[in-house]
Structure 1
Amino acid sequence: MANIYKNAMFDLTTTNKTTVYTCPTNRTALIKSIQITNIHSGSVEVEAFATDSSDSDAEHEVAHINLASKTVENLVKGTMVLEAGDALKLEAASANNIAGIVSYLEIFDEKSP
């Protein structure tokens, strides 16, 4: 097994659900943090969802916050595990006001194709 620490930066430019990370094939991801910042002058409602690829892409809400202006919050209170094909999505009530970074550890078998 090999471990690689990575990050994925994002800007939520729409009010639609936005996929900010998808776990690659033959890997497991340990999401350590989903740090978001509100760059808007008012509060913004933000939701996080995990999509389970092993359950017909069932989607589950994993965080919901009303983020005050000019503040930062971590949406993960413990480690979140995503399996191959699972996705992490974020949705904001207003566009172009939320930015952030997902920090994660990918674990994979070096002998996998």
Structure 2
Amino acid sequence: MDVLINVFVGLHIIGIASLLGGFLTQMKAMGAGTARFTPAMLHGALTMLVTGVLLVGFREMDGGTVNHIKIGVKLAVLFVILCLVYVKRDEERVDKALFGTVGALTVVNIFVAVLWR
């Protein structure tokens, strides 16, 4: 079970790297007002959602403890990110504030995962 959990942790990290990487590659365009949500950002957020839910299930099946409040906060933040990216995915230009919000929420999600024990 540990190998399976580690594989899905790796996939979860790949998802967040895709979401954050998509945001970072659009930073210059955000300054110019021409940023847009890339498909990598949507796919990264979906990957995070699926692998995160599976990781919680695997951890509970393995008899480990799960901080449900932390998972709920991470899920809520990810849900907001996913909704914003999904709704605005086809627009050629996304408002700077909206685009910056997605980046900030992504970073918040990372820090919640790492710092909340």
Q: Check whether TM > 0.5.
A: no
Q: Which TM class, normalised by the smaller chain length?
A: under 0.3
More contact order relative to length (CA 8 Å, sep ≥ 6): 1
Return the structure number with greater strand share: 1
TM-score by length of 1: 0.26
TM-score by length of 2: 0.25
Return the structure number with greater helix share: 2
